[in-house]
Amino acid sequence: MNHIEALRTPDACFADLPDFPWTPRYFDNLEGYDGLRMALIDEGPSDAEHVFLCLHGQPAWSFLYRHMIPEFLMVGARVVAPDLFGFGRSDKPVDDDVYSFTFHRQSLIALIEALGLQNITLVVQDWGGLLGLTIPPDMPDRFNRLMVMDTVLGLGGGTTEGFEAWRKFHGEHPDYDMAALFQKYVPGMSDAVAAAYAAPFPDPRYRGGARRFPFLVMTKPDMEGVEVSRRAATWWSSEWQGDDFMAVGEKDELIPPWLMKRMHEVLGLTRPPMMLPDAGHFVQETHGAEVARAALDAWNSD
């Protein structure tokens, strides 16, 4: 990969994050991504029986999982929560054209291989699912459980009214107030938490990923990522033999409950989804600990 010009959010921007005490780990030598540094939270025993790989979406970062991480650690698991390039503490390419489905998907594959992760519980939301759900078919021996929240596979079959409004907003207001956006979608969010979500983006130069991602969602059949997503859908429904858990925010306007129920069918999941009447798109933010405990209880009862 040719040299990619990127920015690195100053550490001072991440001072005093509420309920997020973990020290980040950094990779600056991922295969195919020389010169770019990826940040991640990597907590728990390196030889743990289960590894929770928590993948965030746009415009969030690993901070999104701060209510779930303690629940997973309490059962002796290892938790790996990376920041996608362009988000969180990871480097942020300044050229918006760098951001693509393949660029991000391959970076996650490279991370899994670099860490040697096995016995993975894949935990996904938003773009974490658009990317992450396509990976297990290419390395099936590494994954044995799936936890899905407010996400889809990008099959190129259309969109929703709520997502079109999201995409339109990003097109018309590329340098929007990040903290205000989170407070809009999560009513009652404190100023301190909203500021933490906005911390990775101190000025518009850092926002390439946040600007670009809404326009990469595969809503048309000829878009990058549709083919691999369709192959993944076939694999999940016909070959996946691991355990699963789905939680649905019933107030989600971007990925409404009817679409999540459709995804339940597409993925061939076996458990009825956990419906959350008061939750919106960011289930981890509002109901993270509750959902984590419910999934763990379900799996432990088998």
Q: Within 10 Å of residue 86's Cβ, how many Cβ atoms?
A: 30
Predicted TM-score (pTM) above 0.85 = yes
**Does 140 score more than 90 pLDDT?**
yes
- CA dist 90 and 9 (Å) reads 8
Contacts of 111 by beta carbon, 8 Å cutoff, 6+ apart:
27, 30, 38, 40, 82
Q: Tell the CATH superfamily of the 6-300 domain.
A: Alpha/Beta hydrolase fold, catalytic domain (3.40.50.1820)
Mean of per-residue pLDDT scores for the chain: 96
Domain spans of the chain? 6-300
Q: What is the pLDDT of residue 121?
A: 98
Q: Within 10 Å of residue 271's Cβ, how many Cβ atoms?
A: 13
Give residue-wise pLDDT tens across range 170-197. Answer: 999 988 999 999 999 999 999 999 999 9
Q: Known catalytic residue: 42?
A: no
The single residue of 83, 91, 126, 244 carrying the catalytic annotation is 126
Token pair recorded at residue 271: 């458990």
Give residue-wise pLDDT tens across range 244-271. Answer: 999 999 999 999 999 999 999 999 999 9
Give residue-wise pLDDT tens across range 50-63. Answer: 999 999 999 999 99
Handedness of CA 101, 234, 80, 197 (dihedral sign): positive
The single residue of 170, 252, 264, 287 carrying the catalytic annotation is 252
- CA dist 168 and 174 (Å) reads 10
Q: Known catalytic residue: 173?
A: no
- Let me know how long the chain is: 302
Mean pLDDT of 264-283: 96
Q: What is the pLDDT of residue 172?
A: 94
DSSP H or E run through 291: helix 283-300
Q: What is the pLDDT of residue 75?
A: 97
Q: What is the pLDDT of residue 106?
A: 98
- CA dist 154 and 198 (Å) reads 26
Q: Known catalytic residue: 243?
A: no
Q: What is the pLDDT of residue 102?
A: 98
Q: What is the pLDDT of residue 222?
A: 96
**Does 1 score more than 90 pLDDT?**
no
**Does 203 score more than 90 pLDDT?**
yes
Mean pLDDT of 99-108: 98
Are 51 and 119 in contact by the 8 Å Cβ rule? The answer is yes
For tokens 């409004």, name the residue: 165
| pLDDT-above-90 percentage for the chain | 95
